[in-house]
Structure 1
Amino acid sequence: MQVGSQSLTSIASANWQGNEQNPQEAWLPITESRNGNTFLVTFQILCSGIGMQALVLPVAFPALGWAWGIVCLSLAFVWQLYTIWLLVVLHESVPGIRYSRYLQLAIAAFGAKLGKLLAIFPVMYLSGGTCAMLIITGGRTMELFFRTICRGEAACHAKSVSGAEWFLVFTCIAILIAQLPNLNSIAWVSLVGSITAVLYTTLILVFSIGKGRPSGVSYSPSEVGDSGMDNISSILNALGIIALAFRGHNVILEIQGTLPSGPKHPSYKPMRKAVVPYNGGLLSAFSKIHGHNTSKLTMGFVYLIVLVNCLCTFQVYAVPVFDNLELRYTARKKQRCPGWVRTGLRVFFGGLAFLIAVAFPFLGSLAPLIGGITLPLTLAYPCFMWLSMKKPRPNGAVWSLNLGLGCFGIVLSLLLVVAAGWTLADKGLDANFFKP
């Protein structure tokens, strides 16, 4: 959702000396409460960084092979960790001003027109689109949980529930939890989300190692086609999936905005302590390889904690959308959103995300394409923002590093988009519109 650059710039200001915020900042979900701490912020980062997006990582490894897959994943992890550090420092790069939203920082670094052009789509997709993906994942996980627990019970299959109905149940629960007023207030929800994320990724890894390698499985790169272009596009698509696994950057500034700040104690110090490594999950591979010989109690428990994690993660990624909606209301009315308006806006967004999930249940199949489009937000834009706002010495080490990483990120993004488009044109897409 687009907002005026003047409004975004004006609400970025804060008066350190008087410790007073722009009044509009105190009305919006992201910055309404700034009494967070390192522990609460850690939960938010863990919840947004670990979980659903890592579930597609096993799809990338057949094309890359086990060794190259680990190398690429490790390099991507170090790269995105560096860009997170850049964002954390740029949050208060101008004394007295806090950029608590990614779009604010993009406008400050690149100007109003270019900043909105570059950042609006990836930011909005990685917020609203992620919520739609969570509805798809959560709804299907609910169905899997139900089928696993009721395995062999005839009464459970007497009346089947459609995919859209599972999506609706998940959406209703998620929007009910989303009535919490602001980002800081959902920190304890994020605690549950981070615990479940670490738990199920660890369980899946331990169970998979304990089961051993299934017969007929190879960790060497697979040959996916007869032509060289098929193999190249497969490798690039795998890199796009890895890139998609690191997408919490669009909420890093928002999470940092919940921390108190002052000239002697800027927010980047506790934020640096809260930035923790992400983990990956192997749910889809484990379910397909070992699901047939694992007890239904074990599989049911894994599905349950994945479901809880999806509900908790939904809250973190939905807050930027709620903030955007309320920004438009408060800018027009010059007052805080009444409770009934805030509830109505959140129900409206839940309905919209549900409609997208039902209309495009194949959204996960577009992971390589979307990963390529949103890659610059994670790996390239922070480097260019640093160059624009910090203005390091030209041709120096810092200048060269950021320019090189930024340019390589843009080139890699273009290659990933081309490869994903080639694959879709060559293989086709099972576009089951409105048939979840």
Structure 2
Amino acid sequence: MGTQVSNDDLKNAYSKPPVDNRTEEEKAIDAWLPITSSRNAKWWYSAFHNVTAMVGAGVLSLPYAMSQLGWGPGVAVMVISWIITLYTLWQMVEMHEMVPGKRFDRYHELGQHAFGEKLGLWIVVPQQLVVEIGVDIVYMVTGGRSLKKFHDLVACQDKCKQIKLTYFIMIFASVHFVLSHLPNFNSISGVSLAAAVMSLSYSTIAWGASVDKGVTPDVQYGYRSTTTAGKVFGFFGALGDVAFAYAGHNVVLEIQATIPSTPEKPSKIPMWRGVIVAYIVVALCYFPVAFIGFWMFGNTVDDNILITLNKPIWLIAMANMFVVIHVIGSYQIYAMPVFDMMETVLVKKLRFKPTWYLRFFTRNVYVAFTMFVGMTFPFFGGLLGFFGGFAFAPTTYFVRGFWLLHKIDFHLYLFKEKQITLIINISFVQLPCIMWLAIYKPRKFSLSWFTNWICIILGVLLMIIAPIGGLRQIIMNAKTYKFYS
């Protein structure tokens, strides 16, 4: 596997920590920033933070994805994704303290360690921002649609004038104009715990209500589309839906940063314990919803299974409200690292004072931005497929691999094509896998080496084809869509 850090080295590093050369001002800034301001989290914080980060809008689209994939490919993709993402998440947990005496509290800090101060930022930060902002935009749409469904079931039931989805997205966003001012991860732990409980609850309702409703008469399990192009592009988009459902790796280091670490009990021990519990919950949520939902409704299921279910009304209404509560917590989990980035730049680079009104302004602007984009493009299924393939495949499936590109990088330098090398670094080596391989360097043709290449091939294909399906669905929806309807 390569050179590993021994336990003795780790203990010596902790017993003789590096000298803190920060000024009092720098210490005060770090104590103010969201990621580094609190380190007293317990292992169960890791559990429900990871459940909240992973189980969300994506689980509701899994029966729809199954209808695009079919039984065989669908089951295979679901199971393989669960295994790969658990393994890659383990790698992220290990990399948090891979250097004795040092913690990589933020994703970009790990990137800078692997690639260098400047290049590490260019490789990691754009990709991470696409993922986290993309999730929050999708959750704006999900929260608004679930609120609208709740309203229509409880207060309307087709007997009153329909209210625009835009207004429900604004109502959902109003909650975040308040919650976004909680200072750090530990301060949103109560919101995250409630969100994690809600995820298990509405997932259970989704498949339980499906069983209660029974198999749809004349159910069909063939592909949804009747045309070859529709089948192919639908298959592509479904892969993006699954990738979106298994997202969550982008906030792993930041979550682990809130856990205390000692020589006897480094942070990776409680963090991994929480991850295992989280992945058990993920399995209990994902597999029943995906398989039972497709079994009951076949290829007529909607891109959000709760939209397909209409009875019993009180149960489906409650499930939609559970979704709202859950995505409130999920939004905050993904927004916190973005807040940290914005505030770091403003305070450390632009020399603004770390005040409450600076935080008030920046966080409100962010919430308003995600609300505006969500209101403008509320294409739920297409957004899942597009963001899932474009952003989540690199950061979730690729924590292993790309050894060859690492070699190509040096060969290009032999030809003095630095411009081409930069393009390759920005376009392809924007994958956190190289962070692992640059340090541990698995032996060629070893099990680890082969595992890397399998993940590379699967991930590259997913990154290329999934956005195509998602983008096609967005274009098709846009033909008949009226802005802010």
TM-score (norm 2): 0.78
SS in 1 for 2:448: helix
**Residue aligning to 1:80:** 85
User: 1:271 corresponds to which residue?
Assistant: 271
Q: Distance in 1 between matches of 2:63 and 2:16?
A: 47
In 2 relative to 1, CA 52–326 (structure 1 residues): closer, same or farther, beyond 3 Å?
same
Residue 202 of structure 2 is aligned to residue 197 of structure 1: no
- Mapped to 2, the partners of 1:105 and 1:268 lie a distance apart of 15
1:290 matched to 2:291: no
In the alignment, is the contact (CA less than 8 A) between 1:244 and 1:367 conserved in 2?
Answer: yes
CA shift, 1:422, in A, is 6.4
| Equivalent position amino acid for 1:241 in 2 | D
Per-residue CA shift, 1:291-336, capped at 9, x if unaligned?
Answer: 1xx1322222111111111211111111011111110122046686
Partners of 1:217 and 1:384 in 2: how far apart?
Answer: 46
| Structure 1 partner of 2:379 | 362
- Alignment match, 1:167: 169
Structure 2 distance, partners of 1:334, 1:360, is: 35
* Unmatched 5+ stretches in structure 1: 1-13
Tell me which of 16, 27, 32 is aligned to 1:27.
32
CA-based RMSD: 2.8
Match of 1:186 among 170, 185, 188: 188
Cα displacement string for residues 98-148 of structure 1 (whole angstroms, at most 9, x for unaligned residues): 112222223322345554444333311221221121111111211221121
Compute the displacement of 1:424 (Å): 6.5
- 1:105 aligns with 110
Taking structure 1 as reference, are residues 161 and 269 closer, same or farther at Cα in structure 2, changes over 3 Å only?
A: same
Distance in 1, matches of 2:473 and 2:158, equals: 41
Mapping 1:384-403, distance limit 5 Å: 384-403=434-453
From the superposition, tell whether residues 89 and 360 of structure 1 become closer, same or farther in structure 2 (CA, over 3 Å).
same
2:56 is the alignment partner of 1:62: no
Look up the match of 1:8: none
Cα gap change, 1:46 to 1:15, in 2 (>3 Å) = farther
SS at match of 1:150: helix
- Name the CA shift for 1:418/1:211 in 2 (closer, same or farther; >3 Å): closer
Superposed CA offset, 1:314-369 (max 9, x none): 11111011111110122046686212221222111111111111222226423323
1:413 aligns with one of 445, 448, 463? 463
Partner residue of 1:241?
A: 241
Asked whether the equivalents of residues 387 and 399 of structure 1 are also in contact (C-alpha less than 8 Å), the reply is no
Specify whether residues 420 and 174 from structure 1 end up closer, same or farther in structure 2 by C-alpha distance, changes over 3 A only. Answer: closer
CA distance in 1, matches of 2:224, 2:153: 34
Contact in 2 for aligned 1:138/1:307 (Cα 8 Å): yes
Structure-2 separation of matches of 1:215 and 1:334: 65
What amino acid maps onto 1:47 in structure 2? T
One-letter code aligned to 2:440? K
In 1, Cα distance between the equivalents of 2:170 and 2:477? 29
Q: Name the count of aligned residue pairs.
A: 416
Amino acid at match of 2:46: V
**Cα 1:119–1:19 shift into 2, 3 Å:** same
Once the two structures are TM-superposed, the CA of residue 407 in structure 1 deviates from its matched residue by: 4.2
The change in CA–CA distance for 1:132 and 1:171 in structure 2 (over 3 A counts) is same
Percent of pairs identical after alignment?
A: 28
Does structure 1 retain, via aligned residues, the 8 Å contact 2:138–2:383? no
Tell me the alpha carbon deviations over residues 44-96 of structure 1, each in whole angstroms, 9 at most, x when there is no partner: 11111112122221221112223431221001110111110111101111112
The residue number in structure 1 matching 2:48 is 43
> Given that residues 397 and 455 in structure 2 are in contact (C-alpha distance below 8 angstroms), is that contact kept between their aligned partners in structure 1?
yes
What is the one-letter code of the residue matched to 1:319? Answer: M
Counterpart residue type for residue 385 of structure 1: M
Indicate the residue corresponding to 2:100 in structure 1. 95
Contact preservation (8 Å) 2:58, 2:384: no
2:331 is matched with 314
Taking a change above 3 Å as real, the CA distance of residues 310 and 435 of structure 1, as seen in their structure-2 partners, is same
Residues in 1 aligned to 2:158 and 2:384: alpha-carbon distance in whole angstroms: 36
SS in 2 for 1:305: helix
Task: Report deviation, 1:429.
Answer: 4.0
Is 1:347 aligned to 2:396, yes or no? no
Q: Of 143, 165, 190, which residue of structure 1 is paired with 2:148? A: 143
Counterpart CA distance in 2 for 1:185 and 1:304 is: 23
Contact residue 190 and residue 313 of structure 1 kept, 8 A: yes
Cα contact 2:234–2:469 (8 A) shared by 1? yes
Segments of 5+ residues of structure 2 without an aligned counterpart are 1-13, 294-301, 399-430
Q: How big is each residue's C-alpha offset from its partner over 1:154-181, in whole Å with a ceiling of 9 and x where there is no partner?
A: 6xx36x6433222222111122122211
Q: CA deviation at 1:238?
A: 1.7
Separation in 2, partners of 1:147, 1:323: 38
* Partners of 2:93 and 2:253 within 8 A in 1: yes
Residue number among 385, 393, 397 corresponding to 1:379 in the alignment = 397
